[in-house]
Structure 1
Amino acid sequence: MGGRLRAPTGRYGGRTAEERQAERRSRFLAAALQLFGDAPGYRGTTVAALSQAAGLSTRQFYEEFRTLEDVLAALHLQVNGWAEQAVLDALGDADGLPLAERATVLFRAYARGITADPRRIRIAFVEIIGVSPRLEEQRLARRARWVDLIRAEADAAAARGEAEPRDYRLAATAFIGSVNGLLHDWTAGWVDATLDEVVDELVRLLLGMLRPEDWRPPSR
């Protein structure tokens, strides 16, 4: 199909066209979280099945999206957005804490945000893989945002004298890979540990990256 169908305009039932469109989009994304994030998965879902799960028509689907890949792209951004917002909300609670405590607060917030629903982690780390060059570019772009957040935290810790001052580009990238891999394996049941134990291990990895054995904090 060359493009989306034109959505209706004007008020209906006391709601504007934009409000109705937002509701339809939300229902499609909620249905996609269920079908893509559980059974049958993204590759096993059809437009008809998604529309039925959303309680909407295929015509309404094409008013909002061109393809199922567009839905997966939007859902992937939404899941990452939930996790990112959880971390941003936790920044206030972590303000002024020593590095180890600050890192623990932030990573617990991230872990809760991304694992609050097992379907979210499947969207973030499983269903998005290998779909298309476009979605791979999006996945790496979102991953880069997490890398930038870790780099900013590392640079701030170094400026406070709590971490070794150096270029953290490679280290942050490697660390985010570890985060993604460990949380994926934990969700899949391949890691016998509680979520708190997983978070504690990630914090230890981060602190080892920021404070190598031969590093000493500057004297005051």
Structure 2
Amino acid sequence: MAGRLKAPTGRYGGKSAEERQAERRRRFLDAALQLFGDSPGYRGTTVAALSEAAGLSTRQFYEEFRTLEDVLAALHLEVNGWAEAALLAAAAESENLPLAERATAIFRAYAGNVTADPRRIRITFVEIIGVSAPMEKQRLARRARWIDLVCAEVAAAVARGEAAPRDYRLAVTAFIGSVNGLLHDWSAGWVDATLDEVVDELVRILLGILQPSGPPLAGA
């Protein structure tokens, strides 16, 4: 299909065309969160099934999206956006706290948001893997944004004298991998710990990066 079908214009039922379009899009995304994030998953969902779950027609689907992959891409960005908003709000509220307390508040907010709904975990860490080259590009770009956010917090810690000045990007990249892996494994029931314990362990890892104890490595 070359592109989306044109949606009708004008007011209907007291709503503008833009409002009706936004409502339809929201219904498709909500239905996708349920089907992609639970059962049958992204690969087991058809346009017809998604449209039925949204209470809309396939014609209306193609007015909003070209493919199911477009829906997954939009949902992946939205779920990450929710988590980022929670993280930034916590960072602003804890700006004047000591490093350990600030890091705990930030990662508790992030973890609480992303694990609040198991479907978000699956969209973030499972369903997006191996879909296509464009989706992999989006996944890596979104991970790079998380790395940038943590690097910005680390830079602020350096400016306050809470961490030694150096290039932390490689270490933060490894840390983000730990965050993703541990939260996924915890949500899957493979980690016998509470969410607070998981967050505390992640904070200890970060503080170990910023405030290492013991002698430096040979050649450092």
**TM-score, normalised by the number of residues in structure 2:** 0.96
Q: Distance in 1 between matches of 2:95 and 2:151?
A: 17
Farther-moved stretch of structure 1 (206-215 vs 103-112): 206-215
Q: Is there any run of 5+ residues in structure 1 with no aligned partner, and where? A: 216-220
* Aligned pairs for 1:22-171 within 5 A: 22-171=22-171
Shift of 1:214: 4.5
Query: Runs of 4+ in structure 1 displaced over 6 angstroms?
Result: none
Spell out, residue by residue over 1:159-218, the C-alpha distance to the aligned partner (whole angstroms, 9 max, x if none).
Answer: 111111110110110000000000010011110111000000000000000011158xxx
Shift of 1:88: 1.3
**TM-score, normalised by the number of residues in structure 1:** 0.96
**Which position in structure 1 is the counterpart of 2:218?**
none
Shift of 1:91: 1.9
Farther-moved stretch of structure 1 (91-100 vs 31-40): 91-100
Paired residue secondary structure (1:84): helix
Spell out, residue by residue over 1:136-173, the C-alpha distance to the aligned partner (whole angstroms, 9 max, x if none).
Answer: 00000110111001111111101111111110110110
**Which position in structure 1 is the counterpart of 2:21?**
21
Q: Distance in 2 between matches of 1:124 and 1:139?
A: 9
Spell out, residue by residue over 1:26-66, the C-alpha distance to the aligned partner (whole angstroms, 9 max, x if none).
Answer: 00000000000000000000000000000000000000000
RMSD: 0.9
Shift of 1:117: 0.2
Shift of 1:92: 2.5
Q: 1:112 is aligned with what amino acid?
A: G
Q: Percent identity?
A: 80
Shift of 1:77: 0.2
Shift of 1:13: 0.7
Q: Distance in 1 between matches of 2:172 and 2:91?
A: 19
